[in-house]
Amino acid sequence: MAAVKKVAVIGFGNIGVGVVRALYEKGVNGLELAKVVDIDLKTRRPVKIPKTMLSDDWKSWSTTRTSTSSWKLSAASKPAKSIQMTALKNGKDVVTAIKNAGLRR
């Protein structure tokens, strides 16, 4: 049996809520929601997760082994590039929902 990948979802807007719902409420074989990172921790979301899973500090998860992959789901391209490059440099798998993620050099 393959190891479970722990996922950090970066961005808890419309797309992020859907991804968190799929991972946390419904469950996806082989994936476990480890952290949800967003700059806005006060807005109520239609999906409820434990407060310990919610953070506004994307750098903390990118340098630890808590999560093995990250899913960047916000639309802001400048922060997206920085977040994704940091994750990649720290050995994380990166999945993005951003069409032009700005990763070209």
What confidence score (pLDDT) does residue 61 get? 73
Q: What are the DSSP E strand ranges found in the chain? A: 5-10, 31-37, 54-55, 69-72, 93-96
Q: Is pTM beyond 0.85 here?
A: no
Q: State the pLDDT at residue 17.
A: 92
**What SS3 state is found at 16?**
helix
CA 33 vs CA 76, 77, 92, 103: distances in Å: 22, 24, 14, 25
Give strand pairing partners of 35: 8
Q: Which residue has the tokens 């994704």?
A: 84
Query: Is residue 34 within 8 Å of 53, Cβ to Cβ?
Result: yes
What was the pLDDT predicted at 102? Answer: 54
pLDDT for 51 equals 92
Using 50 as the pLDDT threshold, list the residues of the chain that sit under it: none
